[in-house]
Chain A
Amino acid sequence: MRRETAVIVLLISAVLVPMWFVALASGGHAGGEEIALQPAPNSSLNPTGYFIDAPTEINVNVAGVVTWLGLFGLFGVLFASIRFAHRVGRSGEPIEPTDGTDLDLPDYLESEYRSVVAYWPAKANLTGVWLVGGFTFATVVFAALFAGEVFGAARHQFLGFYGALLCVSLAETVLLYYTYFIPSIDVAEERDH
């Protein structure tokens, strides 16, 4: 990180950290207040069922801090995912149009205003098969757990947890398929058309 960038980050942190501290210290319902539910007739529904202790409710000030941490976390994961896809999918020198290699590209990629300028063939190796296969299996497992929860006790924490893992494993499946089985392409397009 460049020195000036570090100073700017420090200056923003100097106000943000105290504000977050105040937000986290503000009042609310930290926990211990049970929401008593009556048994549902002819239903196994158990929305408040949990497997780890969580606050009864977090107030909106705390929710603000959690929102930004969640967004930064999401951004970090996306950054790492794209970096991984490019590091693996674009390793080595690309084929360039001037090489004269027939790339067998779809028609829509090139037009009067657009041309392909770099092409990294898909790896399509055994590592990719194992990774995509593994995450596909994980996706099926979490989809089954999620569906079981939806049609069973429908416990909120379990639904959220399984739903998150289902989405992550599906995202990883797509990411790894993209990385290992789809060629990386760069196109150059004229702006004024």
Chain B
Amino acid sequence: MSTETEQQPAEGTASEDENPSRVYRWLDDRLDLGDTFLGKAFPEDAYGSFLLGEVSLFTFVILVLTGTFLGLIYTPSTTAVEYTGRVAAYAGTEVPAAFASVLQITYGTRFGMTLRMVHHWAAFLFVAAMGLHMLRVFFAGSYRNPRELNWLVGTALIFLGILEGFLGYALPFDEYSATATGIGYEIAGTIPFIGEQLQYLVFGGAWPAASETVIPRLFFMHVFLVPLVIGGLIAVHMFLLVRQKHTEQKGERHESDGGPDSDDQSYVVGTPLFPNQAMVTIVVFLMTFAVLFLLAAFFPVQRLPIWGPSDPTSTPANVGPDWYFMWVFGVLKIIPAIPFHDAISSALGGIPVGEFVAGVIVPGIIATVLALWPFIDYSKNEVHFTADPLDRPFPTAVGVGAIALIVMLSMAGMNATVATVVSGIVHWAAPIPVLGGLFTFVFTQPPVTTAEVTLPLQVATVAVPLVEGVLVYVMLARRKKRKGIEDSSEAAAARAASQDD
């Protein structure tokens, strides 16, 4: 801290010349800004992919900002009220209060529709940006020692992001979202022994029968509990990042006489937080907001008047989970018959075994492997340079196979549309001699039913990821052998470790 004399220097003194901003000096006197944090190095990469984490962060910030506005007007209640707003189809009718309040936000509040749509698209972009960020970290091997903890935190964040989206989905209490929420409710109930308690803990009652209790609970978790945990984990993520410092892409350093060598991983080289990286960060925030504004303007989602308020007696057509949940839905759609189903079911207290395996066990295995991957691909030495994915055949092959698996499962989740598309292809190919014969060997004449595509989808969901993974592994292993290359990031880590010894 400065002395009294230093706090108020006379005009034109040396102190003022060094720090000409009065605001800076005022803050520096109180917060000791002269510390070194402002100069923290942010490494650059050739592709700008290090900015994906910032996009994830800013979509969360935008979610909080827009969600605060929406939360001030939203009513978390399913009590029937007379709708007196502007949507002609419901004027003068009784609708749930939650539904009416979202109509009011959308059609009766200045700027309301835009902020609601931005919120919706920010949620989608939040999950997508986190997913792409994790893929970048995965393929670059940035999860390796000492960053395993941050990978675990990141994994928790993406699943909490998905959970947060699920909780928010129910809130308008319209026909579509109520049906989609029911899928999650049913999945929770399939867990042996604790399913019922879990349903009660999360939902607070039966869905949608006890919606008057469920909606306020989901609202509390959506606007307070889960965002608080997400915010806390983001803080932990950032703390670990600052403490351990970024990974750095090899070959991006400007070689200088006074600087470290290009393969010296005991240093991190990059632009300082202030002013350079701060400027980039502002650009990322504004561009993210711009994309969300455009998506909100031209791609409307969740137009409640089309779907109407929740009706427990009907299931509307074309209902499914949000796209980021589609892979779980896909497992449910193509799970084969479980042997000894009835015997297992009665042993586990009457739970539906197939749904439990598809909705909980399979996604649970995928999530566990994802979380524990740094311990599967474990590095003994500290690795601070990112890897070239082509130099690491096994992890890269697993990554490509995993992407193919999630994509194939997502396609299986849309099996009814797959049947329609296949019908079109069969109809088109029928007159072609060999191709038509091949299709009619697998399918009957169009229209192809949803049941008929189940077996091809089951086979493809297992075979395609395996084939793609093996192809990538063989190709990269041969490349490695042909060029005699090794993972340069591992080599640098090994050199650093031997120097330490």
Contacts and interface: CB of A to CB of B under 8 A. Distances in A.
Interface of A: 2, 4-5, 7-8, 11-12, 14-16, 18-19, 21-23, 25-29, 33, 35-40, 45, 47-48, 52, 54-61, 63-68, 70-71, 73-75, 77-79, 81-83, 85-86, 94, 96-98, 106-111, 113-115, 117-118, 150-151, 154, 156-157, 159-161, 163-165, 167-168, 170-171, 174-175, 177-178, 182, 184-192
Contacts of A75: 48-49, 51-52, 55, 132
Interface stretch (B69-77, B217-225, B321-329, B370-378): B321-329
Interface string B270-284: 111011100110111
Contacts of B113: 47, 156
Contact of B414 (A2, A61, A81, A98): A61
Contacts of B475: 4, 7
Q: Secondary structure at chain A's binding surface: helix, strand, loop or mixed?
A: helix
14 contacts: A12-B400, A25-B417, A25-B420, A38-B86, A45-B110, A58-B300, A60-B323, A64-B326, A108-B35, A111-B39, A114-B36, A171-B282, A186-B256, A189-B267
B341 interface: no
A96 B257 contact: yes
Given A117-B254, A185-B271, A187-B271, A163 B114 contact: yes
A71 B294 CA distance: 12
B297 A109 contact: no
8 smallest A-B Cβ distances: which pairs?
A: A160-B297, A64-B323, A117-B259, A171-B286, A27-B318, A167-B290, A178-B279, A164-B293
B199 interface: no
B263 to A, nearest CB: 13
Counting chain B CB atoms within 10 Å of each CB, which of A14, A26, A71, A111 scores highest? Answer: A71
Nearest to A179: B279
B353 interface: no
Interface of B: 18, 33-41, 44, 47-49, 51-52, 55, 86-89, 91, 106-108, 110-114, 117-118, 121, 124-125, 128-129, 132, 245, 253-254, 256-260, 265-272, 274-276, 279-280, 282-284, 286-291, 293-303, 305-306, 317-318, 320-324, 326, 384, 390, 396, 400, 403-404, 407-408, 410-411, 414, 416-418, 420-421, 464, 468, 471-472, 475-476, 479
Nearest to A170: B286
A191 B384 contact: yes
Contacts of A79: 47-48
Contacts of A58: 299-301
A182 B272 CA distance: 12
Contacts of B40: 189
Nearest to B116: A156
B281 to A, nearest CB: 10
Contact of B86 (A37, A97, A163): A37
Contacts of B299: 54-55, 58, 63, 66
B326 A186 contact: no
A186 B254 contact: yes
B421 A22 contact: yes
B280 A82 contact: yes
A64 B324 contact: yes
Nearest to A178: B279
B323 A67 contact: yes
A127 to B, nearest CB: 18
A126 B482 CA distance: 53
A25 B125 contact: no
Given A35-B87, A37-B87, A61-B323, 14 more contacts: A8-B472, A16-B407, A58-B301, A61-B417, A63-B322, A78-B284, A78-B287, A108-B33, A117-B269, A163-B293, A167-B287, A171-B286, A185-B272, A188-B41
